[in-house]
Structure 1
């Protein structure tokens, strides 16, 4: 059982207030003990935006800020926005819209620059980037890595974290070396949709029992997420919004109290400089 003093953070989910559950998903999360959310903007084309420049991502980001504010009103803690460009956009631009890989890179790097502006102004917490988790040709792969490197450069300038969408792996030390080369330390790089064991970035572990046990037993910094996508065509995908609170309760019942504190207090503070305990206390005394 989750007590009133335990923060519960879902590190990566999407909310769609216009086409699917939106705030109802947040209420489900909160009813089971969830207190904090990192809300990542949905892929731009899912919101009807076919970007031709970095500026075209602005309505996607603005809509995300609106749903984050509404989510915070429902939580005993709060929500934060993570803004950026889904790496799968490069395939849409190249394969479906006829751009070259270099042209697609420029558009996506423009989106990263805009996301960084929101971080710099204090309106967003972190940047999202990455590279395709599926096979692509060399030009697209190189362009995708260039987009990711730009995200590292801007995050280093701002001393903020980058959430990565990338291929499944247990060793991404090369990627964190690229980040370190431009001044972004490895603890500011998060691998979204990770397993329980990962070298390099901080793993954001999907809310399934087996990888969570691996992460808990390792004792290294980790986060928990659902990657809930709030898609009317795929209800519950990837995992439903109730999953993280349920898994936190299970971890506590199983004796993993230290792992819960690691994932929901210590690692968020290390990666994002956020205080999940302090924001929880303030919301309850206001």
Structure 2
């Protein structure tokens, strides 16, 4: 395993132990210098049929917790699960015949199951959000209601929330919704973020131009690949070696403070995890 002299956390990676690379992707990450992972459950329709009841989400969360535990065995640090409901499920359900309101009810039930699993495991965040594509007003309203429910669940259980949303550099209103629910907006993370973001904490896609913006402005940020672990799309969105390689690039260009920000300070502030103490 390569040692970059710092914890290296990928904030948003999917792992599929049944259909794709699974632990082999973790080994690539570790060999490149990666030490810590947040393993986000894949969309539920990628691990089984569309859910029809709250119980249908259980397999998704159990699979994610199990693969995170297996990933920890391969890392100098460790992995933590992130459990929730992908906001794109609303469209899948509506296309399957559900009304937007009924789809929202089922997704909120899924989030409640995720919160229950988080309480009995070492999960550090819930996953929620809203579609990043055009939808009807009814679907948009149901999605926002579901996201606000995630904030309330997270506040009750001292969890963070990772969001999948539209491309934007301003989620101030969403941060205000989190605060209204009792959740510190800094503990809300927009995954697939650009280099700057108002309102919540950005998890920056590990492209050099985005990272340079994040490193230069000095505000809290995280780094991710959104590796999807799909055998039909190898390397999508970014490969598992990317974050360690980008950390090395940042260090070579004098951004030591930014690396500490993204891999030590912000993980501690957002998720309550200590990436330094958990290094072997």
Pairwise TM-score range, normalised by the shorter structure: over 0.9
Instruction: Answer whether contact 2:7 2:263 (CA < 8 A) is retained.
Output: yes
Q: Residue 17 of structure 1: CA displacement?
A: 1.0
1:6-155 equivalence runs, <5 A: 6-95=6-95, 97-155=96-154
Q: Residue 4 of structure 1: CA displacement?
A: 5.5
1:226 is matched with which residue? 225
1:246-265 equivalence runs, <5 A: 246-265=245-264
Q: Residue 55 of structure 1: CA displacement?
A: 1.7
Instruction: Answer whether contact 2:11 2:203 (CA < 8 A) is retained.
Output: yes
Instruction: Answer whether contact 2:128 2:161 (CA < 8 A) is retained.
Output: yes
Q: Between Structure 1 and Structure 2, how many residues are aligned?
A: 279
Q: Distance in 1 between matches of 2:183 and 2:265?
A: 19
Q: Distance in 1 between matches of 2:232 and 2:190?
A: 26
Q: Could you say what secondary structure the match of 2:38 adopts?
A: strand
Unaligned runs of 5+ in 2: none
Q: Distance in 1 between matches of 2:142 and 2:255?
A: 42
1:168 is matched with which residue? 167
Q: Distance in 2 between matches of 1:248 and 1:186?
A: 26
Unaligned runs of 5+ in 1: none
Output the TM-score relative to the length of structure 1: 0.96
Q: Residue 123 of structure 1: CA displacement?
A: 3.5
Q: Distance in 2 between matches of 1:105 and 1:237?
A: 28
Q: Residue 39 of structure 1: CA displacement?
A: 0.3
Instruction: Answer whether contact 1:5 1:277 (CA < 8 A) is retained.
Output: no
Q: Residue 267 of structure 1: CA displacement?
A: 0.1
Q: Distance in 1 between matches of 2:248 and 2:273?
A: 22
Q: Residue 54 of structure 1: CA displacement?
A: 1.8
Extract structure 1 runs of 4+ deviating beyond 2 A. Answer: 2-5
Post-superposition CA distance 1:113-163 (Å, at most 9, x none): 011112222332110000000000000000000110000000011121000
Q: Distance in 2 between matches of 1:5 and 1:32?
A: 12
Q: Distance in 2 between matches of 1:218 and 1:107?
A: 40
Q: Distance in 1 between matches of 2:167 and 2:184?
A: 21
1:182 is matched with which residue? 181
Q: Distance in 2 between matches of 1:89 and 1:70?
A: 27
Output the TM-score relative to the length of structure 2: 0.98
